[in-house]
Amino acid sequence: MYMGVGDRETICAVSTPAGYGGISVIRLSGPSSFRFVRKLANSLPETPESHKVYYAKLKDSSGLQIDEVLVTFFTTGRSFTGDEVVEIACHGNPYICETILTQLVLLGAKPAGRGEFTFRAFMNGRMDLVQAEGVLSLIEGDSLSARKLAMRQLAGHLSRTLALIEDDLIFCLAHIEASIDFSGEGLATLSDLDLRSRLSGIEGSLKELVGTYKRGKIIKHGFKVALVGLPNVGKSSLLNMICQEEKAIVSPFAGTTRDLVSNEILFEGNKICFVDSAGLRGGKLDLVEAMGIEKSRALAQEADLVIFIFDLFGGLTEEDLAEIDRVHPYAERFIVLGNKADLVEDPKSKYQDEMRLLFKRLGSDLGGFDISAKDSSSRERLLKEVICTQIARPSEEGAVLSQLRHFEELSSALRGVSHSLTELGDGFGPEFFALGIREALFAIQRVLGKTYDDEILDRVFKEFCLGK
């Protein structure tokens, strides 16, 4: 791994997903990339042209042919990483890939560490921090939409949007500073009115960006669904049915699930994360269970969707209603499922009766339906109708925030701009509203990696696992 001292190493790795396929691509980056590959294929020219594809037969040191491949050469400064890069397209066979890699390593190439190509690209100024973070998300992204989002970040959507805001802020600052330092020279600086409208525009863009974080977070970390309800209404059974595996311990005794149990599934390209909580109960409890209930409440708060489950056979009890009262205000989205439909004769109408009762009490309509944890056909219905409709589709255009770091910085940028607007309205001097704009500018530059502190550095090191 790169330590910054002495000769630079050449790294190599298979860049396509593992397994059998049409082709696999092996990528090398570093000063000896082409030299190493040429040792395996002496038909290649001594001085290749950049961005040109060469046909070659790769042979090992004993002269045994490994594969027929296509070799693409990228010269220093004109490649993904900024280094000299060679890409070998071989047949998509893990054995062939393995053999080629082994030969390259024998010649002196080093297997690339996680994110090391990206790291080199970042270090060589081929991408900014936001883009690099995009690549890392891509590597980690385990759902289709997460990968799409990361691709957009890599393509520079967010960087571009932020660069525009940065530019706008600098423009405003330039005018404000000119009005201070050259006040006597009759300059045509922006009027307070113009400034206000520009700042309002920036405020709007920032609000919109900050608003996408929720969506971005859902895409990146999954849509978080909390299953809550009184003990023994079948939350764990439901979780197992949805996830199609036995994860939660199920028993006929109330209070079996004491800690949070979670499971993730992929459904139609979306990552959905289910969390089963300790059954909520207000009465006297032993301490462990009390702590579990505490966690349940916190969970309801942070979940994207809270599903309250009750026993349809027994109907909504006073205890159920009391619990709904307690949890409902904390939840962003809230639906109610009537479980154990298999035990009820006409579950649909029973459910509707119960919901009317609930409507009377809450004065608002909560979505949901009857379900049976024993009937796996209701799984599809639950996922499609209830959950996927709740996951807002990100627009194909525009930037979306997915990293907490970005969200926090842009929130602070937004606060700065809002401050400035208030002070502008209150007739404060320009040196005061300049402050908020500077705060905003600084926050945005931090996101873009234009200013540096240990926090970003630490992140770089953590993400790129350097220094091993």
Partner 1 sequence: MSIISDFDVIVVGAGHAGVEACLATSKLGLKTMLITTNTDRIGYMSCNPSIGGLAKGHMVREIDVLGGIMGQAADETCIQFKRLNASKGPAVRGSRVQSDKARYSQFVTDKILNQNLLVLKQAEVKRLLLQNGRCLGVVLDDDSKIFSRAVIITTGTFMNGVMHVGLSQIPGGRVGDRASVGISDQLRELGFSVRRLKTGTPARLLKSSILWEKTTPQYGDEKFFPFSIHSTGQYRLPQVACYISRTTPETHDIIRKNLDKSPMYTGIIEGIGPRYCPSIEDKVTRFSDRDSHQTFLEPEGLDSELIYLQGISTSLPESVQDDFLRTIPGLERVRVARYGYAVEYDFVEPTEIRHTLETRLVRGLFLAGQINGTSGYEEAAAQGLIAGLNAANFLFERPELILGRDQAYIGVLIDDLVTKGTREPYRMFTSRAEHRLVLREDNTIDRLSSIAEGQGLHHGDVLAKLSDISNRREALRVKLKEERINPRAAVQSKLVSMGSTELLKSVSFEELLRRPEISCTSLADLGFEIDLDPVVAESIEIEVKYSGYIKRQMELIKQAQQSEAMLLPESLDYFEVRGLSKEEADKLSFIRPRTLGQAQRISGVNPSGIQAIMVYLKGRFLQSGRELEIGRKPTKQS
Identify which of residues 123 and 291 has a Cβ nearer to partner 1 in the complex.
123
Sign of CA dihedral 311, 313, 319, 323: positive
x/- map, 181-210, partner 1, by CB under 8 A? xxxxxx------------------------
20 contributes a contact to partner 1 by CB under 8 A: no
455 contributes a contact to partner 1 by CB under 8 A: yes
Q: Which residues within the stretch 100-129 sit at the binding site for partner 1 (CB under 8 A)?
A: 122-125
Strand ranges (E), 30-116: 52-59, 65-74, 85-92, 110-111
450 contributes a contact to partner 1 by CB under 8 A: yes
Give the H or E element holding residue 48: none
Identify which of residues 5 and 64 has a Cβ nearer to partner 1 in the complex.
5
Alpha helices in 13-115 (DSSP H): 33-40, 94-107
Find the part of the chain contacting partner 1 (CB under 8 A) among 283-291, 293-301, 381-389, 429-437: 429-437
> Which of 284, 395, 454, 462: binder of partner 1 (CB under 8 A)?
454
- The span from the CA of 248 to the CA of 232, in Å, is 13
171 contributes a contact to partner 1 by CB under 8 A: no
x/- map, 312-331, partner 1, by CB under 8 A? --------------------
Find the part of the chain contacting partner 1 (CB under 8 A) among 20-28, 227-235, 274-282, 450-458: 450-458
- The span from the CA of 156 to the CA of 154, in Å, is 5
Assess contact for 312 and 343: CB atoms under 8 A.
Answer: yes
> Which of 451, 459, 462, 463: binder of partner 1 (CB under 8 A)?
451
Identify which of residues 67 and 463 has a Cβ nearer to partner 1 in the complex.
463
Find the part of the chain contacting partner 1 (CB under 8 A) among 42-50, 268-276, 305-313, 446-454: 446-454
> Which residues, in sequence order, are CB contacts of 203 under 8 Å at separation 6+?
414, 417, 418, 421
Find the part of the chain contacting partner 1 (CB under 8 A) among 105-113, 328-336, 351-359, 425-433: 425-433
Structure tokens at 296: 């349940």
Helices then strands, counting H and E runs in the chain, come out as 15, 11
Least Å from the CB of residue 189 to partner 1: 13
Biggest CA-to-CA distance, the chain: 87
Strands 85-92 and 261-267: unpaired
411 contributes a contact to partner 1 by CB under 8 A: no
Structure tokens at 451: 């200013």
Find the part of the chain contacting partner 1 (CB under 8 A) among 107-115, 218-226, 292-300, 430-438: 430-438
Structure tokens at 310: 């009750």
Strands 223-229 and 305-311: parallel
Residue 340, Cβ density class (10 Å: 0-12 exposed, 13-18 middle, ≥19 buried): buried
User: Binding residues for partner 1, per CB under 8 A?
Assistant: 2-5, 8, 122-125, 177, 180-186, 419, 426, 428-432, 435, 438-439, 442, 446, 449-455, 457, 460-461, 466-467
